[in-house]
Structure 1
Amino acid sequence: MAALAWLLIPLVAAIGASLWGTWALRTRRTRGDGPELVGYARFREAMERSTTTTTSVSGS
Structure 2
Amino acid sequence: MAALAWLLIPLMAAVGAGLWGSWASRHRKAAGDGSELAGYARFREAMERSHSGG
TM-score by length of 1: 0.61
1:43 and 1:31 mapped to 2: Cα distance?
20
Instruction: Tell me the number of residue pairs that the alignment of Structure 1 and Structure 2 aligns.
Output: 54
Q: Give the Å deviation of 1:36.
A: 1.9
Residue matched to 2:21: 21
Which structure's CA Rg is the greater one?
Answer: 1
Q: Unaligned stretches of 5+ in structure 1?
A: 55-60
2:10 and 2:52 mapped to 1: Cα distance?
65
Residue matched to 1:12: 12
Q: Unaligned stretches of 5+ in structure 2?
A: none
1:8 and 1:37 mapped to 2: Cα distance?
48
TM-score by length of 2: 0.65
Q: Give the alignment's Cα RMSD to 1 decimal.
A: 1.9
